[in-house]
Chains A and B, each alone.
Chain A
Amino acid sequence: MKHIKTLNTQTLNNTLKKGGCGECQTSCQSACKTSCTVGNQTCENKK
């Protein structure tokens, strides 16, 4: 596309298929403790 460049291939919808294992880090255990930083976390399900 000449006018639009998409940065990512993954979509949230795709994560419905494999998600929900819960092995990822709890957001407040990382480096916040006074806000909510779910989006900063990384998925640990590499399957």
Chain B
Amino acid sequence: MIHQYQNNGYNIILDVNSGAVHVVDQPAYDVIQCLTEINPRHTVDSLKEKQTQELLIERMGETYDPQDLKEILEDVICLTENGKLYTEDVFEAYVGDVKKRKTVVKALCLHIAHDCNLACKYCFAEEGEYHGRRALMSYEVGKKALDFLIANSGSRRNLEVDFFGGEPLMNWQVVKDLVAYGREQEKLHDKHFRFTLTTNGVLLNDEIQEFVNREMDNVVLSLDGRKDVHDNMRPFRNGKGSYDLIVPKFQKLAESRHQEKYYIRGTFTRNNLDFSEDILHFADLGFEQMSMEPVVGPETDSYAIREEDLPKIFSEYDKLARTMIEREREGKGFTFFHFMIDLEGGPCVYKRLSGCGSGTEYLAVTPWGDLYPCHQFVGEEGFLMGNVDDGIVKPEIADEFRSCSVYTKEKCKNCFAKFYCSGGCMANSFKFHGTIHDTYEVGCEMQRKRVECAIMMKAALAE
């Protein structure tokens, strides 16, 4: 299976099952398109058949020099022989093994505070309350969560704990105490905790910054972009915007971390479909690590992304990619999380088949110690898997999540991006279709576009 596309003047062929990426000239682009049509078997033998060459020359001999066509066909055969073009999918045979493997828990999302000092309009946590009550996690519950993680992590050494909310800084003392407890325990059990924090920045101060820089592997800082965009969606409960308060704090924190191991993370909505301007605004503020997620919500929400918005969103991703190439060449480059792609050292096939790990390797813990498949399922009682006292009491929920893969979802089977998103977000599938075994199509469209842009940037920057 191949995917070929043109973007920003580059002709790109992605060999889906090997992950090989080829940048080709126009004759080769047209030849490969023609071969895909006239030679549906795409095997080395069928490409070598005399009839294939004859058909190719018959179809394209008037446009291109037959000698060139023969040369390109030879190149195509060579790449196919080397497993870099028209590669067959051999991974489906492995998916059963991957899914049958005994999984261990390696990451927890600790809902340290179901409370928030902002009232963001799109919040899936509903101002931190997650369809429930306001609550702060106690030190005792947090300790049990870390003990649960250690006990269920098998031989996995690196364990991840994200302090999440609501707003985790509203329960800061417990965060600090849990980090201290984790550092104690990791020595005893030969583990390494990677702590991370996701914050809106309102309560950030020098003391917190110093602690975060010492202990947190990564911090995710929520900022939506330009002042009017941010303040519109992320006001305080009294309606006042939060931009002016948090931006200087985030700038100081990013600098103190030497512009590493953090992300400025925004959410774009239908209200700012020109979101590339917001990402460039981050760069203008001096940030170098950024992420900008599309909002996820039903079309009944006025700010939700609709199918009809996709062309505008695609053009924004294109514009952003072109600008990033320019800035990189000027020595002013920055990282955009959703264009990150490592063609040489990306995740292994096992990881790509396993997906995000929600419900199996990754769990969310509520302030009172309940376990859910991920932070987005918190409050959906049908997905309550257990608690930190009794562990997993509904293993069938984990089994259902484990069974999901790109091979069980009909819509993924012929999608070129399946090994980059691993079947997409199961919470999004549940929100739109009431089942984790489907996909959120608008999200898929955006994902495909981002993969195309990311690969095009690799082509451009390889020149």
Contact = CB atoms under 8 A, between A and B. Distances in A.
B351 A38 contact: yes
Given A4-B75, A37-B338, A11 B421 contact: no
A13 B83 contact: yes
A24 to B, nearest CB: 6
A26 to B, nearest CB: 4
B337 interface: yes
Contact of A11 (B72, B83, B156, B160): B83
Interface residues of A, number: 42
Contacts of B71: 2-3
Interface residues on B, range: 35 or more
Contact of B361 (A20, A26, A31, A45): A26
Interface string A35-47: 1111111111100
Contacts of A1: 75, 78
Contacts, number: 205
A25 B18 contact: no
A26 B105 CA distance: 11
A37 B420 CA distance: 7
B411 interface: no
Contacts of A45: 348
Contacts of B78: 1
Nearest to A39: B420
Q: Is the interface of A mostly helix, strand, loop or mixed?
A: loop
Contacts of A39: 341, 346-347, 352, 419-422, 451
Contacts of B343: 7-8, 10
B345 A3 contact: no
A23 B348 CA distance: 11
Given A6-B22, A16-B94, A31-B337, A37 B421 contact: yes
Interface in B23-39: 23-25, 27-28
B198 interface: yes
B107 A36 contact: no
Interface of B: 13, 17-25, 27-28, 68, 71-72, 75-76, 78-79, 83-84, 87, 90-91, 94, 98, 101, 104, 106-107, 109, 124, 156-158, 160, 162, 194, 196, 198, 218, 220, 263, 265, 267, 291, 293-296, 337-338, 340-352, 355-358, 361-362, 374-376, 419-428, 443, 447, 451, 458-459, 462
Top 3 A-B pairs ranked by shortest CB distance? A19-B348, A39-B420, A15-B348
29 contacts: A4-B13, A6-B79, A7-B22, A10-B19, A10-B344, A10-B345, A19-B351, A22-B106, A22-B361, A26-B356, A27-B357, A28-B356, A28-B374, A29-B160, A31-B263, A31-B291, A33-B198, A33-B293, A34-B124, A34-B428, A35-B296, A37-B337, A37-B338, A38-B351, A38-B420, A39-B347, A40-B340, A41-B346, A41-B351
